[in-house]
Amino acid sequence: MKRYLQVDDIGDLKQALKDAFEIKQNPYAFKQLGENKTIILVFFNSSLRTRLSTQKAAMNMGMNVMVLDINKDGWKLESEMGVVMDGDKPEHIKEAVPVIGQYCDMIGVRSFATFESKDDDYSEKVINQFIQYSGVPVISLESATRHPLQAFADLITIEEHKQKERPKVVLTWAPHPRALPQAVANSFAEWMKKAEVDFVITHPKGYELANEFAEGASIEYDQRKAFKDADFIYAKNWSSFNNYGKVLSQDKDWTVDEEKMALTNGAKFMHCLPVRRNMIVSDGVIESKNSIVVQQAANRVVSAQTVIKRMLEGL
Ligand code: CP
């Protein structure tokens, strides 16, 4: 595996789950694979789970790990081509990325959507420059349009908690005070459409995801109808795709609360975290016995380790 950006990069999901559960059962069994190998994790944006879980996964594989907060610790990077660099960015990504590639065997990159240009975000300008110029395999730690390590961990968590062969999984938009990228929702949709689940997306009008992600899912604009008989409720906020990056609603009638969870088939509650309580989800729901957000976060180590193992095997 040379890159991990989207669901197609992992191949068959049943095999990916099998590999993940093998790693979860015996996390140190493949330590020799990473001996004398180094991963550098480059963060353009903040992180708690992705940073720690990917470090832990790489350490479980016997690797050396370096972490770079590029905006804090590195030079500010210019990513435009052919510009006169007389502004506040002293280093070009075209030198910085190949240099980083000299110091490691694989790179993880977190680079969120900036909302400055829909075309730049949806063409994955930044992470594609890492793929083009680094000379080593690249793992997305959340790019402008996708969060594939999160979606893989979500699938592992659903597989562990499902009570029936084909559960009903509902992705619900929920309110948030700021404009958030669509990446988590996009990836979750991309993975659920390939998984053995009945998948429904519910959101207010105006919050339609890009066609490539929404197409093939059932879309239900009535949140209560969508929740009926659901086995998993996955809450997430995202900003508008069509009215790019805009917050169109902060309607708290979309907050996931006990009354709405009562419509489900005793559904498990999921969220990628961090989560804003009493905006996205009520205290009662996130603290209920059906909330599996911590188990979900724990599986971030498993998804990252499964991907790193495949990359090490391909070196
Ligand atoms: N879910 C997730 O990616 O968390 P962090 O932003 O804290 O890494």
pLDDT digits (tens, 9 = 90+) for 212-225: 999 999 999 999 99
**Per-residue pLDDT at 227:** 98
Residues 198 and 212 in one domain: yes
Q: Is the CB of 45 under 6 A from ligand 1?
A: no
Check if 60 has its Cβ closer than 6 Å to any atom of ligand 1: no
Annotated binding site: 47-50, 75, 110, 142, 147-150, 176, 236, 272-273, 276, 300
Strand order in the sheet with 232-236: 218-220, 198-202, 168-173, 232-236, 268-270
47 lines ligand 1 (CB under 6 A): yes
Q: What is the span of the domain harbouring residue 128?
A: 3-146+300-313
- pLDDT tens digits, one per residue of 74-131: 899 999 999 999 999 999 999 999 999 999 999 999 999 999 999 999 999 999 999 9
Task: Looking at the structure, tell me whether residues 82 and 191 fall in a common domain.
Answer: no
Q: Is the same domain home to 284 and 304? A: no
User: Is the dihedral angle over the CA atoms 226, 227, 228, 230 positive or is it negative?
Assistant: positive
Best of 50, 141, 271 to mutate for ligand 1, by most ligand atoms within 8 A of CB?
50
pLDDT category, 7, cuts 50, 70, 90? very high
Residues 230 and 270 grouped into a single domain: yes
Tell me, yes or no, whether 154 and 258 share the same domain.
yes
pLDDT of 74: 87
Q: Based on the domain organization, do 89 and 167 belong to the same domain?
A: no
Domain count, the chain: 2
Q: What confidence score (pLDDT) does residue 142 get? A: 98
Q: What would the DSSP string read from start to end of 84-135?
A: ---SS--EEHHHHHHHHHHT-SEEEEE----SS-HHHHHTTHHHHHHHHHHS
Q: Render pLDDT for 261-310 as a digit per residue (tens, 0 to 9).
A: 999 999 999 999 999 999 999 999 999 999 999 999 999 999 999 999 99
User: Is 252 found in the same domain as 177?
Assistant: yes
Q: CB of 48 closer than 6 A to ligand 1?
A: yes
d(CA 120, CA 275): 27
Question: pLDDT (tens digit, 9 = 90+) per residue, 16-49?
Answer: 999 999 999 999 999 999 999 999 999 999 999 9
pLDDT 10s digits, 46-60: 999 999 999 999 999
ipTM of the assembly? 0.99
Q: Are residues 254 and 120 part of one domain?
A: no
Query: Is the same domain home to 156 and 293?
Result: yes
CA 149–ligand 1 middle distance (angstroms)? 10
**pLDDT band at 175; cut points 50, 70, 90:** very high
CATH number at residue 208: 3.40.50.1370
Quick one: the chain helix, strand, coil %, rounded to 5? 40, 15, 45
- Indicate if ligand 1 lies below 6 Å from the C-beta of 272: yes
Whether residue 167 has a cis bond before it, omega within 30° of 0? no
pLDDT reported for residue 118 = 98
Q: Is there a single domain that holds both residue 14 and residue 124?
A: yes
In the predicted structure, residue 155 carries a pLDDT above the cut 90? yes
Do 172 and 269 share a domain, yes or no? yes
Same domain, 218 and 117: no
